[in-house]
Amino acid sequence: MTKLSVNVNKVAVLRNSRGGALPSVVAAARACIGAGAHGITVHPRPDLRHITPADVDALASSTAGVELNIEGNPFAPANARGYPGLIALIERVRPAQATLVPDGDAQLTSDHGFDLERDAARLAPLVAAIRELGVRVSLFVDDDVAGIERAAELRADRVEIYTGPYAKAFAQGDGGASLERCARTAERAQSVGLGVNAGHDLDQRNLTSFLRHVPGVLEVSIGHALMGEALHDGLDATVRNYLRLIGAARFA
């Protein structure tokens, strides 16, 4: 069954807009877990615009029984703001999964995957270091990535398919071509022993179609849409709706 990991970055965005401790990232994560979410995702950035290293520490001690997934750019160094660097943070927290993403500091959000042919040499020692910590490694890739075999050669455990283009095409009424690319990418990844995750701009409207067409998706990471929907319906009801949609896709 596909697992749901809820990204709680947007809770930190709201908190940071006012300062102080509210709304609580930990309380939001616990609400998601209480509703049945299988994991919690965070993407701490070097500019500390939302999730902070202190949040990651707090979540690591408050999410027992579910998987913690830390996303980030493995090439981003430590800085004077208090960001320790992704590898150091992973070593400190030992999450279940680390999702490596090639996003620059100036990016508003992740909008592309790794060029595996170009980036393999730089990624190799970092993937090895993370795996030595006992942490599963997933690499963020585009839905038409070339040379996906390189991810397996790097000994990554999974890839996460960037689903932004699919979500955009679906909203415009024609997600078929993007779905086909995602399905082919998943099949190619699985053929070389990689697990497949997916994420970015998935929501209650497009999720079921995605899961029905793309084989063997192990995990979806959903944050922005889920938190927006939860403003109207509440976290508990929204998480349960996503789980219902995931379940429905299995028996289509």
Is 71 a catalytic site residue?
A: yes
Q: Is residue 200 among the annotated active site residues?
A: yes
3-state secondary structure the chain: CCEEEEECHHHHHHHHHHCCCCCCHHHHHHHHHHCCCCEEEECCCCCCCCCCHHHHHHHHCCCCCCEEEEEECCCCCCCCCCCCCHHHHHHHHCCCEEEECCCCCCCCCCCCCCCHHHHHHHHHHHHHHHHHCCCEEEEEECCCCCCCHHHHHCCCCEEEEECHHHHHHHHCCCCHHHHHHHHHHHHHHHHCCCEEEEECCCCCCCHHHHHHHCCCEEEEEECHHHHHHHHHHCHHHHHHHHHHHHHHHHCC
Task: State the catalytic residue, choosing from 200, 213, 219, 229.
Answer: 200
Give the angle subtended at the CA of 43 by the CAs of 40 and 46, to the nearest 5°: 150
Active-site hit among 43, 213, 219, 229: 43
Q: Which of 38, 71, 160, 213 is catalytic?
A: 71
Active site residues: 43, 71, 200
